[in-house]
Structure 1
Amino acid sequence: MENSPTAASNEKCDDAKLQADRVVPKEEWLQKWEIKNIGFHNEEGHASFKKYLDLLLNGRNGQKIFFPLCGKTIEMKWLSDLGHHVIGVEISESALKEFFAEQNLSFTEETVAEIPGGKLFKSTTGNISLYCCSIYDLTSTITGKFDGIWDRGSLVAVNPSERERYAQLILSLMNKKCCCLLVTCEYDPRKHKGPPFYVPDSEVKSLYGKYCDIRFLEKIDSLSNRPKKWGLDYFFEVLHVLTLK
């Protein structure tokens, strides 16, 4: 009985609770960018993004794609070069300015009337718009709804206690034909407190299953030096695609 699928699922649910009270304050994220402790940033881009790009775009041109907690991910430049419209959100102003500098893009800066203290950085080409604010300050009234979402390091970064709020925001930003590529992390949460946080498939189903069709795409062995330094002996990235029912 202990080896039954139900028992294994229950064990994963119990493991997920180990990080339930973990909170990473805004100041800690800002400090990571300030001291360049940004091992979560992938300078080469994520291989799965290109692998599943056709799935994200579904043969459509000029799509509006959202990058939650975008940092300075280079995939934003890739998509803009293909003629798509990129919208991102990030609390670190330095991360956004570094993105434009590293990609040799000129940009404008403006305030956002609907978001106290919020700023909007826009490429002069007009197809990259990056908001500097809390992700929870965004609404579909401000950004409109999206045709695609690339959630590679966002759900696994938000505090576990905020996941329901986060998921509801993501759902509110999806248009009827939106495709969301979601990357979660699977490892032993007894050995690492996060972030990135451990998000089992059962959690994805709990957050999105009522509203979305969830399709498993791939489970990737991503045990590199970084998770090894955390004391982990296995680390997987799990990819799903979400579409509204």
Structure 2
Amino acid sequence: MLAPQADQVRTLEKWEKNWQEDKIGFHQPHVNKVLENNIHKVLAGRTGVSFFFPLCGKAVDMKWLADMGHSVVGVEISEKAIKQFFEENNLTYSEEPVPAIPGMKVYKSSEKNISLYKCDLFNFSSSIRGQFGAIWDRGSLVAINPRDREKYSSLLTSLMAKDCRYLVATLLYNPELYKGPPFLVPDEQIHSLFGNSCDIELLQSEDAMTDRQRDWGLDYFTEHVHLITLKSS
């Protein structure tokens, strides 16, 4: 099932170019419904939760969570995306280098507890900001190159605090008809990537087909949402 996409590679430069040319059909101008519908399961009664957004883009979900009193850390390769996030949400921000990682910069909101790091996601680690109480992964696992998924799951697991609740949306479709991204991530792979150290719960399965996917030539397009938590040792 994964074979047609196994060798697909999208470079960081290509993602940056997408942002520069405003080819960002993946961006949603509103708070994601999956997050809204499952926020109670992610929070589990907690307040002031630290959220991590891998490949955050300029997701409005970040401000929505910060407005609720949570802290947000995002990682994004595109400086344009980061600056647009602050500007479009009327937030002032500071910009400073991160000495530990050459070339890495962090942009911090003055009004809200939001810090966005401009860097390759795989250069980020818990040594920079510790571990997190929640992760929201809407377009990250499905966007990274399929060959990097083991490395990705190791990184994400290392960023999870003991009580972390990791919400991830994945996509199912026929990979013979569309090469991606977003890439196909079957449920079996979620279990092979995270199952050794985590409990995995399928929260919802929804038909996510729109005209955009029909234009890709797809005949079905299903979104699965999983909640991943560390096994209690």
TM-score by length of 1: 0.93
Q: State the match for 2:114 in structure 1.
A: 128
Matched, 1:240 2:232: no
Matched, 1:81 2:67: yes
Q: Distance in 2 between matches of 1:41 and 1:221?
A: 19
Q: Which runs of no fewer than 5 residues in structure 1 stay unpaired?
A: 1-14
Matched, 1:184 2:181: no
In the TM superposition, what is the alpha-carbon distance from 1:126 to its structure 2 partner? 4.9
Q: Distance in 2 between matches of 1:227 and 1:211?
A: 34
Equivalent residues of 2:67, 2:112 under 8 A apart: no
Matched, 1:140 2:121: no
Cα distance 1:44–1:126, how it changes in 2: closer, same or farther (>3 A)? closer
Equivalent residues of 2:66, 2:112 under 8 A apart: no
Matched, 1:203 2:189: yes
Which of 11, 24, 29 is 1:43 aligned to?
A: 29
Deviations 1:161-203 (A, max 9, x none): 0000000000000010000001000000001101000000010
TM-score by length of 2: 0.98
Q: Distance in 2 between matches of 1:236 and 1:193?
A: 16
Q: How big is the alpha-carbon RMSD for the aligned residues of Structure 1 and Structure 2?
A: 0.7
Q: Which runs of no fewer than 5 residues in structure 2 stay unpaired?
A: none
**Alignment coverage as a number of residue pairs:** 231
Q: Secondary structure at the match of 1:193?
A: coil
Matches within 5 A, 1:24-103: 24-103=10-89
Moved more, 218-227 or 65-74: 218-227
Larger radius of gyration: 1
Deviations 1:55-91 (A, max 9, x none): 1111111110000000000000000001100000000
Q: Distance in 2 between matches of 1:91 and 1:129?
A: 14
Q: Secondary structure at the match of 1:52?
A: helix
Q: Distance in 2 between matches of 1:126 and 1:113?
A: 23
Q: State the match for 1:169 in structure 2.
A: 155
Q: Distance in 2 between matches of 1:179 and 1:163?
A: 19
Q: State the match for 2:96 in structure 1.
A: 110
Q: Structure 1 vs Structure 2: percent identity of aligned residues?
A: 49
- The one-letter code of the counterpart of 1:95 is A
Equivalent residues of 2:150, 2:193 under 8 A apart: yes
Q: State the match for 2:4 in structure 1.
A: 18
